[in-house]
Structure 1
Amino acid sequence: MDLFSRTLSDLLDTVEALSDDDFARPSGCADWLVRDLVCHFVIDAQDVLITLVTPTADDVTHDAVTYWKVSHAPSADPLAALTVRLAAAYDEPWMLKHHVDDVGRAALRAAQLADPTLKVSTQDMVLCTSGYLGAYVWEWTLHHLDLVAHLPHLPGPSAPALARCREVLEQVAGEFPAGWSDTDVLLVGTGRRAPAEQERAVLGERELPYVLA
């Protein structure tokens, strides 16, 4: 629960630090500008708010890891095109920045007030609130890396968030070399960066990318 709060707070702080010019730069998400990615954060925060007020008495079916579907090839997001159109509808970057901060801070407060043992329902899955918010640590951290992929002057996600996401990826995909940084493991392991020649040699015939979406 605490890591969720820190991860989302760090992401919102980085969005706040974006300049107007930054919104037109590419992000780490294929075919998305920074403004498109930031618009996606609005949708994510809304999802958190909706899910936290959708309790259920059904048995838990998923946790922070099994929440994500695993694929060995890039998968298309059916909402990707809509997200781009929504992002373009914001006339000025400050409008999008304000909307993200407004909805994002509300999601942050809702998570801090939530009962971690409460069961919630989303996308035909049932999770404890703690598991659901744990799943979003992955979402916020990976997208924080995407946000700063071409903006090296801005801070990336925290070390604890990166370490936790590495743990999640290695539970799904197996261990990566201990000498690799958490950031490199996440970028290569999710297909965000092609492995360098030396990295490919270490990985051998291992199938990449491992996409959790």
Structure 2
Amino acid sequence: MELFSQSWAALRTAVAETPDDDFGLPSGCAGWLVRDLVCHLVIDAQDVLITLVTPAESEPTRNAATYWEVSHTPPTGDDLLDALIPRLAAAYGDPGLLRFHLDDLGSAAGRAAVLADRAARVSTKGQVLTVGDYLSAYVLEWTLHHLDLIAHRPSATAPPAETLGTARALLEEIAEAPFPTEFSDTDVLLIGTGRRTPTDVERAAAGELAERLPLVLA
């Protein structure tokens, strides 16, 4: 719960500190500007709120690692929702409106997470998870998108070290293999999810794992 709150607060703070002019810069999500990514975060916050008030009675079918659908093909932008996001983001016009909407929904999602029973079961995407596993999965989501937000803004504040390490550990669980210890947590997340192409040296160090990358999460 603490890491969910920490990663989400850090991401929302990073958005709040993003200058208006930077909303038109590319993000780390292929084909999306920073404003498109922030619009996606608004939808993510809605999803958290919806899931936390969608109780389930059956046994969990997924955990924090298996929550993710994994492919090895980066998105092309042809997915209907992926294509819709830039149009929604453009409709806001003023970056301040996007910031306000994210702060409004994001604060509510953060409060709902703090109040939720970690052992309770919730339903999302046709699957059942405990609240604890669901929120743990989102530490990875928030941390990746924090890196996406600052991908072309080197002076921006990076995600907290604690959440980077937790996100790395979960990605290694998803990969069913550890990344080389010499890789930083940030490099593991960027290379592992296809946000950065590994160098020849990095690919050699990763060995057989490199052949199974990227891990595209949805």
- Structure 2 distance, partners of 1:172, 1:110, is 27
| Match in the other structure for 1:9 | 9
2:167 is equivalent to residue 185 of structure 1: no
Deviation at 1:74, TM superposition (A): 1.4
Do residues 211 (structure 1) and 180 (structure 2) align?
A: no
Helix, strand or coil: the match of 1:121? strand
**Unaligned 5+ residue runs, structure 1?**
none
2:92 to 79, 90, 99: 90
TM-score by length of 2: 0.95
Secondary structure of 1:79's aligned partner: helix
2:53 partner letter: V
Q: What is the CA deviation profile of residues 48-99 of structure 1, one whole-angstrom value per residue up to 9, with x for unaligned ones? A: 0001110111111111110001112214544111111100000201001100
Residue 103 (structure 2) aligns with: 101
Whole-Å separation in 1 of the counterparts to 2:113 and 2:170: 21
Which segment is superposed worse, 111-120 or 196-205?
Answer: 196-205
TM-score normalised to structure 1 length: 0.97
Partner of 1:39: 39
| Higher alpha-carbon deviation: 114-123 or 68-77 | 68-77
Q: Trace 1:43-192 onto structure 2 (pairs within 5 A).
A: 43-75=43-75, 77-173=79-175, 174-192=177-195
SS at match of 2:73: coil
Q: Kindly report structure 1 stretches of 4+ aligned residues shifted beyond 3 Å.
A: 75-78
Deviations 1:115-156 (A, max 9, x none): 111110011010111111111111111000000001111112
1:74 aligns to what SS in structure 2? Answer: coil
Tell me which amino acid in the other structure corresponds to 1:32: W
Shift of 1:203: 2.5
Counterpart CA distance in 1 for 2:16 and 2:174 is 33
1:126 aligned counterpart, secondary structure:
strand
CA distance in 2, matches of 1:163, 1:184: 11
Question: How far apart are the structure 2 equivalents of 1:99 and 1:78?
Answer: 22
Letter in 2 for 1:25: L
Q: Which amino acid aligns with 1:109?
A: R
Letter in 1 for 2:66: T
- Unaligned 5+ runs, structure 2: none
CA distance in 2, matches of 1:185, 1:106: 31
| Matched pairs, number | 213
User: Aligned equivalents of 2:155 and 2:75: distance in 1?
Assistant: 30
Question: Cα distance, 1:172 vs. partner?
Answer: 2.2
C-alpha distance in structure 1 between counterparts of 2:5 and 2:174, whole Å: 24
1:120 is paired with a residue whose SS is strand
Give the C-alpha shift of residue 22 in structure 1: 0.7
Aligned-residue Cα RMSD (Å) equals: 1.1
